[in-house]
Structure 1
Amino acid sequence: MNPPLDLGVFGARGIPSTYSGYETFLTTLLPELVRRGHRVTMYCRPGEVDGEGPYEGVDRVVLPAVPGKSLNTLSHGLVASVRARAARHEVLLVVNVANAPFCALNTLTGQRVLLNTDGQEWLRGKWGRTAKAWFRLGARAAKHTATGLVADCAAMARVYEDEFASPSTVIPYCFPVASFEPDRSVPGQFGLEPGGYDIVAGRLNPENGTDGVAAARASSSSRLPLLVLGRANYDSPVQRRLDDLARHDERIRLVGHVADRATFLSLLALAATYVHAHSVGGMNPSLVEAMGAGALVAALDTPFNRETVGAAGAYFAPGFGDLAAVLEDLQAR
């Protein structure tokens, strides 16, 4: 048996949380590492966790960050890299490639750093030109500033190999529950019946396509409501478009973020179809969760989604023009 490690973690908001894929991933992984005998410290952002006490054995340390969509991530990453160096952790797990430049401090002073590169942040519509340039800088620097890179799917590993000559180890996300039995009373809490709605979930960023799915529903003849789960942490044009669509079409039902995982998974499992329109990420945890919960999946046709879903779902084209037909065909099977 390998000796226990002293592991430091930063780059995400904090745990427990299901706000994004990073938080969902770390909320599952870190307590499991503690159960296996390792010492784990998570460096969290202010306002994202309730206090600094341990969560399922994971030490949580709240560090300061400058408010703002971009500065919050970068300032916290810089402070966390310094604090992690001072704490002398044996290994660091860092998420978000924007933090790659800060990892130089740790690797150059002898700490081993594992960097989870995640998706193509430099393509995300919510970022301005400067932020996109920083993400691309981080992607280029990652192979020099981290001991090793982890991609969540082979398609993302190929992006880093082809664009940045950076090799990665592929470690896909998983559904950590051996079997899941949905609570059939959950849809009723939202005024719905099991099998009587479609669902789309994700942060309300442009590249996640939530508003495109809703617009496709608004222009279709489908009688099923579309349940929209998710929110944005900034003034999102996607939120504004969804608000407008929902005002004019009662089938579009905006729920916001559903934090309780049993409720979230039950909604996915009991929907007629889970629609996944993410375009620039790697393997998305919400898609994995939908599959694990037993949802019928219709996904945007991307290499990342095809690698995740394989033959277990159906695909629609960018632009959403064929989405209604794909859903009709899938639900008729």
Structure 2
Amino acid sequence: MKNVFIIGSKGIPSNYGGFETFVEKLTEYNSIEETQIKYHISCLSDNKEEFEHNSARCFNVNVPNLGPAKAVYYDIAALKKVIAYIKTNEIKDATVYILACRIGPFMGHYKKQLKKYGAELFINPDGHEWKRAKWNWLIRKYWKISEQLMVKHADLLVCDSLNIEKYIREDYKQYQPQTTYIAYGADNSNSSLLDNNQTLADWLNKHQVKFNDYYLIVGRFVPENNYEAMIKEFMKSDTKKDLVIITNVEKNKFYQDLLVETNFLDDKRIKFVGTVYDQELLKKIREEAYGYLHGHEVGGTNPSLLEALAFTKLNLLLDVGFNSEVGQTAALYWKKDDLHELINQAEILTGDEIQMFDKESTEIIRTSYSWTKISNEYTSLFKQ
């Protein structure tokens, strides 16, 4: 039996989040297929209990609320528990897979312990955390140094984006990093909600939205997702359709700055509608949108982009490598100053043209990003 310890997600059962969904799907597939892999999953909690989920051993890690340092503390505490478990149970074939590069300065010490017990260290470098605008310069510097040291000590870096893999190999070539590419996965099953579903009708009525008469944005409310550019450009466009924005909007400084820069309250087409945690409802909202706007420019393969390509007919993506490697020719691409022109062009596409984009994007998700494919690739990797 191969033992794989996964650290870095908040744990399972998952609510919503990229790494959490990944771990949920990976263990779910493993429990069905009986791949002879035993997963051990760290879970952020307020207690220290253990339980089984999807045939995986889940162990809770209780850490204090330390602000940005909480995630660092959590990963270290989880890693200590993993090493103790490997030692106590005399496990000889362990792989420790750490999601994201948060504990680089401490990695040299723990790598020696893992090596002592014959355990491999795999790391998912995630995206460019050190580029995120929410961090001050000191925290950004820490994330960059941490990434460097995680790369240095990894036996293998599993990248979910070809662009991230290229960046790791080029920027840290002094360490001769060993890398492989396994994409993030996506659910490609259609929504179970019918057009006359009451929950759907209530949502549409509440926000005064009509089928096929809105563009959609779904994502975290942070500057690097380019809300300012998308809203400004949408307001400059000629479309009569709405812009529905599903996000965890908070009336914070970013929101106030955005309001000053765009005056979006003066445009009745702009509709911040809060979050949607009902996944079947969110699928249906994606399916019934005229088009999807994607402005993420930091990170690897973005889950919301995969979901957009799976369910939304027409996708308008910021023209950066992370997005184009996924969307390929199944999407339209924009720069930060020409989105309004692309929206105007999207308005005059024929039904056949939109159907062509829809068919191609759905096929990309089905063949390259299905959870079955991704889980198979991880199973092969861990069993090698």
- TM band (smaller chain): 0.7 to 0.9
Structure 2 contact 155–178 (Cα < 8 Å) conserved: no
Structure 1 contact 15–55 (Cα < 8 Å) conserved: yes
Q: Relative to 1, partners in 2 of residues 1:164 and 1:67: Cα closer, same or farther, differing over 3 Å?
A: same
Residue matched to 2:240: 223
Structure 1 contact 17–259 (Cα < 8 Å) conserved: no
**Length-normalised TM-score, structure 1:** 0.87
Structure 2 contact 161–181 (Cα < 8 Å) conserved: yes
Structure 2 contact 234–343 (Cα < 8 Å) conserved: no
| Matching residue's letter, 2:344 | E
1:97 aligned to which of 101, 105, 130: 101
Separation of aligned partners in 1, 2:172 and 2:299? 17
1:328 has 2:344 as partner: yes
| Matched position secondary structure for 1:200 | strand
| Matching residue's letter, 1:215 | K
Separation of aligned partners in 2, 1:69 and 1:6? 32
Separation of aligned partners in 1, 2:15 and 2:315? 20
| Matching residue's letter, 1:265 | K
Separation of aligned partners in 2, 1:236 and 1:42? 34
1:281 has 2:299 as partner: yes
Structure 1 contact 272–331 (Cα < 8 Å) conserved: no
Structure 1 contact 231–239 (Cα < 8 Å) conserved: no
| Matching residue's letter, 1:29 | L
How far the C-alpha of 1:141 sits from its partner, in A, is 1.4
Q: Relative to 1, partners in 2 of residues 1:195 and 1:181: Cα closer, same or farther, differing over 3 Å?
A: same
How far the C-alpha of 1:115 sits from its partner, in A, is 0.8
Separation of aligned partners in 2, 1:67 and 1:190? 38
Structure 1 contact 198–225 (Cα < 8 Å) conserved: yes
Separation of aligned partners in 2, 1:53 and 1:246? 48
Separation of aligned partners in 2, 1:198 and 1:324? 12
Residue matched to 1:45: 44
Aligned pairs (5 A) from 1:49-64: 53-64=51-62
1:34 has 2:34 as partner: no
Over residues 143-188 of structure 1, what are the superposed CA-to-partner deviations in whole Å (9 max), with x where a residue is unaligned?
33222101112111111111111342111123243x4256334653
Q: Relative to 1, partners in 2 of residues 1:135 and 1:156: Cα closer, same or farther, differing over 3 Å?
A: same
Residue matched to 2:364: none
Q: Relative to 1, partners in 2 of residues 1:250 and 1:235: Cα closer, same or farther, differing over 3 Å?
A: closer
Separation of aligned partners in 2, 1:135 and 1:101? 10
Q: Relative to 1, partners in 2 of residues 1:65 and 1:295: Cα closer, same or farther, differing over 3 Å?
A: farther
1:290 has 2:308 as partner: yes
1:256 has 2:256 as partner: no
Deviating more after overlay: 269-278 vs 91-100: 91-100
Aligned pairs (5 A) from 1:10-21: 10-17=7-14, 19-21=16-18
Matched-pair identity in %:
23
Structure 2 contact 12–20 (Cα < 8 Å) conserved: yes
Separation of aligned partners in 2, 1:226 and 1:117? 33
| Matching residue's letter, 2:223 | P
Q: Any stretches of 5+ residues in structure 2 without a counterpart?
A: 350-384
Structure 1 contact 227–254 (Cα < 8 Å) conserved: yes
| Matching residue's letter, 2:214 | Y
Separation of aligned partners in 2, 1:61 and 1:252? 44
1:207 has 2:224 as partner: yes
How far the C-alpha of 1:76 sits from its partner, in A, is 0.6
Q: Which protein is richer in helix relative to its size?
A: 2
Separation of aligned partners in 2, 1:111 and 1:82? 13
Q: Relative to 1, partners in 2 of residues 1:273 and 1:135: Cα closer, same or farther, differing over 3 Å?
A: same
Separation of aligned partners in 2, 1:42 and 1:197? 40
Residue matched to 1:168: 179
Q: CA RMSD in A?
A: 2.7
Over residues 243-296 of structure 1, what are the superposed CA-to-partner deviations in whole Å (9 max), with x where a residue is unaligned?
775644332222333222222222112111111100011111111111122431
How far the C-alpha of 1:242 sits from its partner, in A, is 5.7
Separation of aligned partners in 2, 1:327 and 1:58? 46
Deviating more after overlay: 126-135 vs 299-308: 126-135
Residue matched to 1:311: 329
Structure 2 contact 239–343 (Cα < 8 Å) conserved: no
Q: Relative to 1, partners in 2 of residues 1:46 and 1:52: Cα closer, same or farther, differing over 3 Å?
A: same
Structure 1 contact 81–102 (Cα < 8 Å) conserved: no
**Length-normalised TM-score, structure 2:** 0.76
Structure 2 contact 159–182 (Cα < 8 Å) conserved: yes
Q: Relative to 1, partners in 2 of residues 1:243 and 1:54: Cα closer, same or farther, differing over 3 Å?
A: farther
Residue matched to 2:211: 194
Residue matched to 2:372: none
